[in-house]
Amino acid sequence: MAPIANPRVVFIERLTSGLPVAGKHFVLDTSRTIDIENVPLNGGYLTKTLVLSPEPAMRERMRDPSVPSYTTTYTLGASIVAFAVVVVVRSEKESIKVGEYMYGQTPWEGYTVQPYTEGRITFKPEEWAPGTFDMDSLALQVVPDPKGTYPLSKYTNIMGTPGLTAFVGMEGIIEGKEGETLFVSSGASGVGSLVIQLAKMNGLRVIASAGSDAKVEYMRSLGVEVPFNYNKESYESVLSKHGPIHAFWVLQDNVGAEALDAALDASVAHGRFAICGTVATDNVQFEERYRLKNAFQIMKKRITIRGFIVPDLIPQFGGQFFQEVPALVAQGKLQSEETIIGEKWEDVPEAIIKMMSSGHGHAGKPVILVAQQ
């Protein structure tokens, strides 16, 4: 078989502020080819990329390496590495079979020879200092659904990183109790929608915000008692009317700091706040950022605020997630929405920008379908 095209998304310039620009910070490179029948595997396996999952953490990895943070940075001139669903087309590794679907961190390119590496998925958060956590070490995992019950897009969402984020954060930080009130910002997102569903399953009352009327209706369909459009109603007015709140789930959105400020004021004593994602504040200059007015409430109300990334809590709750969530999805007790924001490799650069600017405009998790199964 003759070599075929092997497109890839290449990182070419560091990001210092604001949103990345397609063609400046990363480009689609279509110059390479690959002989999928004869390329050496060196004891590994060859995968074909099917579904890409643009996520906020990608922006953090575009920063300069001198800026401390929770993760390593992308390598200039190399393929972007991020979450995707792939299928195995050749294998020299006994535990990986041809035809198996896998999901996790992988280079964003048409075909990838995966390294033969044992034991890469070892979670030891006590060994991670800021700036040392290697996102690339989150190895691909075999999709635990050999019969193909679920669309592959579910593994970028409810059974992928967004699902894990919601589940471990709810179990390890929010710890909601029946009758309590939880406020969720960006409630129509992949993470937010699962947070809402988990809260309702545990008997919590939910207030949730989003930026459009369509998203408000989506949140209402999930059982949210008080869904609202923050472009039409202020956080302060809604929470003063429908609060107080016992817990707050803070997701990245363009008005995240305003939501946090209002939540601090509306919280009961000993409220629990879980914060994941910072893409909104990363995308504006320092002098333009919203300044908290109610920070004094943290001490007065003895509020616990914890920022986290998924691997922090996987050792405690990862096994529970994989035991419970796929079964709940199969039973129809948990659901997710995925929005296709691209259907070919040429769509990828602009799709990344859409995700980071919330420009896809739809409820649920944005995904890019780059190849057929």
CA proximity to 365, closest of 139, 189, 207: 189
pLDDT in tens, 281-308: 444 443 456 678 999 999 999 999 999 9
Strand 267-276, strand 245-251: pairing: parallel
Strand 365-369, strand 111-114: pairing: unpaired
Cβ–Cβ < 8 Å for 26, 20: yes
Report the first-to-last Cα separation within the chain, whole angstroms: 20
C-alpha 357/C-alpha 220 separation (Å) is 24
239, two tokens: 């929470």
pLDDT for position 76? 95
Strand 365-369, strand 45-52: pairing: antiparallel
pLDDT for position 358? 62
Cβ–Cβ < 8 Å for 9, 349: yes
Residue 296 neighbours by CB under 8 Å, 6+ apart: none
Residue 114 CA from chain centroid, whole number: 23
**Peptide bond preceding 107 in cis form (omega within 30 of 0):** no
Residues in the chain: 373
CA proximity to 278, closest of 185, 199, 173, 171: 185
> Radius of gyration over alpha carbons of the chain, in Å?
21
pLDDT for position 124? 39
pLDDT for position 146? 60
**Residue 61: what residue type?**
R
Cβ–Cβ < 8 Å for 80, 33: no
CATH topology of domain 161-310: Rossmann fold (3.40.50)
CA proximity to 181, closest of 168, 163, 200, 153: 200
Which CATH number does the domain 4-157+337-369 belong to among 3.30.460.80, 3.40.50.10420, 3.30.830.10, 3.90.180.10?
Answer: 3.90.180.10
Strand 45-52, strand 33-34: pairing: unpaired
| 277 dihedral zone (left: phi>0; alpha: psi -120 to 50; beta) | left
The residue to which tokens 């050792």 are assigned: 315
pLDDT in tens, 241-296: 999 999 999 875 545 688 999 999 999 999 999 998 654 444 444 345 667 899 99
pLDDT for position 289? 60
* Segments of the chain with pLDDT less than 70: 116-139, 146-148, 252-256, 277-290, 358-362
The residue to which tokens 């003895």 are assigned: 302
Going from N- to C-terminal start, the domains of the chain cover 4-157+337-369, 161-310
pLDDT for position 312? 85
280, two tokens: 């909104």
DSSP H or E segment with residue 322: helix 310-330
